[in-house]
Structure formats: C-alpha cells, structure tokens
Chains A and B, each alone.
Chain A
Amino acid sequence: AQSVSQHNHHVILSEAASLELGCNYSYGGTVNLFWYVQYPGQHLQLLLKYFSGDPLVKGIKGFEAEFIKSKFSFNLRKPSVQWSDTAEYFCAVNAENAGNMLTFGGGTRLMVKP
C-alpha cells in the first residue's frame, strides 16, 4: 500500500517569506497528486493537482507544486506568503493500483505571522 509523508508538521513564517512544504510518496507506478488546504474552521479545499503533462503545476492563490518522479516528491511552494495563508496543508496521492482511493499525508500546519 502506498504511503505519503509530509516532513514538517508545523511551519512558522513571517509574511513575505518563501514557503516550501515537502511531500514524498512510496508508490513506484503512475500516480495522481493533490494538495488540499484547510483554513481555520473551514472544509478541505483543493489547492492544485497533477495527473499528467508539465510537472510544474500552478494552483490557486499563487501556489505551485513540482512533481519530481525520480524523487517520489510533490513539494508545494509559494514565493511570498501572506497572513491569510495560515492553514493546514495536506498532500494526497491516488495510485493507479488503488482505484478510487486517495491516501493523505499527516498534514502540515502553517502559521504566518503578520
């Protein structure tokens, strides 16, 4: 079974700092990759997704992620964070042998100080 690792459980940044959240998965075959965000008190929302094509994916609110197949990674980046980016971020993987299943990482809680 596939697994997803998010290395940083808590990240604290000042506004305008650059962000990179790590995500690694364990499956060696074809995958679809997702980042979800959960703002305080809100439901999980899709931030961006990758399923084929350009490995650099751009999502909403200035976020992007890069799929590096050789490293089994799908790291999330943003050049300049804002206070409103304070949220919990989840990486998720759908492997081709998993049918309808998404496997989630443990989440990274980001706090941006104003």
Chain B
Amino acid sequence: DVKVTQSSRYLVKRTGEKVFLECVQDMDHENMFWYRQDPGLGLRLIYFSYDVKMKEKGDIPEGYSVSREKKERFSLILESASTNQTSMYLCASSRRAPGSYGYTFGSGTRLTVV
C-alpha cells in the first residue's frame, strides 16, 4: 500500500537538461517536502510546500525549483542539471502539524547526471 509515490526509481540525465521529478501522495496531507540524501550528509531539505501553490525554500534550494498545482502532487525541477546534482531525491508528506506523526516518505529517485 504505497502512499507516497515517486514517478521514477532511477534516472540518468545529461548535463544541462531540464529534469522533472514527480511525487504524488494519497493521504490528503497538507505538507510536502523534497530532500536530497547524500552519504554522510543525511537528508537535506531542498523545498517544501504547506499548501497548494505555496512553497518555501529549504536549506539547499539553489539550482532547483518546485511546483504544487494540486494538493496531492509536488514536483521538483532541476532547471539545468549539473553533475553535482547527482543524488538520491526523497519526497515526503505530512499533516499540517507533523510533530505527532512525522513524515511519510516515498521510495526515492536516484538521479545520475552525466
């Protein structure tokens, strides 16, 4: 019973390409998040959204943008992919106040930029 779905498990893209990573959740959560996961660095927040059409920068937003046109869908966009964006990208969702519930994560998209 997958509740947060990321459209691709593995992606290989060329430097300079525009890349779209899609995430859909079916739990009617208000909040959605994009993280990248790198060895030794843990999870670093790229962007998050607390409502439709709302977005907030996380810790490392440079080189990324996001789109949330519908409550269930949160897209991460790499405007011009670079090799230092090779990483595992994780999408998560939560209720408006995640303190008691935490996040639900997708399976991740491993992006390689060549």
Which A residues form the contact surface with B (CB < 8 A)? 4, 6, 9, 32, 34, 36, 42-46, 49, 51, 90, 92, 94, 99-102, 104-107
Cα A46 to Cα B4 in complex, Å, equals 14
Q: Mark B20-52, 1 if CB is under 8 A from A, else 0.
A: 000000000001000100001111110010100
Cα–Cα distance between A49 and B48 once the two chains are bound (Å):
22
Q: Say yes or no: A43 contacts B40, CB within 8 Å.
A: no
Residue contact A43 to B50, C-beta cutoff 8 Å: no
Residues of A contacting B31 in the complex (Cβ-Cβ under 8 angstroms) = 100
Whether B98 pairs with A94 at a CB distance below 8 angstroms is yes
Please count how many residues in chain B sit with their CB below 8 Å of the partner chain's CB atoms.
Answer: 25
Main secondary structure of the interface of A (DSSP, over half): loop
**A90-B42, A105-B42 given as contacts; is B99 within 8 A of A32 (CB)?**
yes
- Knowing A90-B42, A101-B45, A104-B42 touch, does A46 contact B107 (C-beta < 8 A)? no
In the assembled complex, how far is the CB of residue A19 from the closest CB belonging to chain B, in whole angstroms? 19
* B108: A residues at CB distance < 8 A: 43
